[in-house]
Amino acid sequence: MRRSIPRRAPPRQELPPAIAARLLLLREDALVLDKPAGLPVHRGPRGGASLEDWLEALRMGKRHLPQPAHRLDTDTAGCLVLGRTKPALAALGAIFAGGQADKTYWAVVRGGPEAAEGRIDAPLRKVSSAARGWRMEVHAEGQAAATRWRVRGRAAGMTWLELSPETGRTHQLRVHCAAMGWPILGDPIYGTATPEGLQLLARAIALPLDPPLAAKAPPPAHMRTTLAACGWRAETDAPP
């Protein structure tokens, strides 16, 4: 009787420097990447570069390729969690599906609220047209969506906001800010495109794993000027 030979995981290899510089947290069950703005998480039908090109390098000795546990828009920079094992992916999926993930975003918006903090409760639905393609809109028949916000700083004509989504709808933060009259700077869909790009950062994430997972991403280069104008200081920003 032939005995089955257990499969060995691939040997761990050194990460390419460009990817290693983006690794915010590494554990046996999960890792957190500082995803650059402009890089899609999944390869689209037209092909092109995506996070999928990084997965083999991020395997790092594991039997299976790591997989994203949640979504992050192509134009959004910052914390992206990937599960490194099948049990971890299942646990992460349950956490995100159950709304247990504590997510913090930073955004620089045009204009801004008068109050210091507040909450947006506006349902969202997906719409599409031949002329404009698909997008999200606030609509009474949409899915429930809520976002808490707090002002972190102000400058002439713009505001630095800390955003905490209570739900995880597509484009939620971008649509909510635009609907309030203060669109996120550089938003080509719900505001006005700029050469600098979308001023939205997935700043931090905390998950109730065992042990708990927490990570923080630094502001990307394309947001540092506007954040600094609103009061952010690189020398006092706690490292990730």
Domains of the chain plus CATH, in order, are 17-235 (3.30.2350.10)
Structure confidence by residue, pLDDT tens digits, 52-73: 999 999 999 999 999 999 999 9
Q: What is the pTM of this model?
A: 0.91
> pLDDT at residue 206 above 70?
yes
**Distance between CA 92 and CA 32 in Å, rounded?**
12
> pLDDT at residue 5 above 90?
no
CB 50 within 8 A of CB 43: yes
Structure confidence by residue, pLDDT tens digits, 15-35: 889 999 999 999 999 999 999
Q: Is 34 an annotated catalytic residue? A: no
- Please report, for the chain, how many H helices and E strands are present, in that order: 5, 12
Average pLDDT of the residues of the chain: 92
Phi-psi region of 111 (alpha: psi -120 to 50; beta: other; left: phi over 0): left
Predicted confidence at residue 43, as pLDDT, reads: 87
Predicted confidence at residue 14, as pLDDT, reads: 75
Selecting among 34, 53, 73, 187, the annotated active-site residue is 73
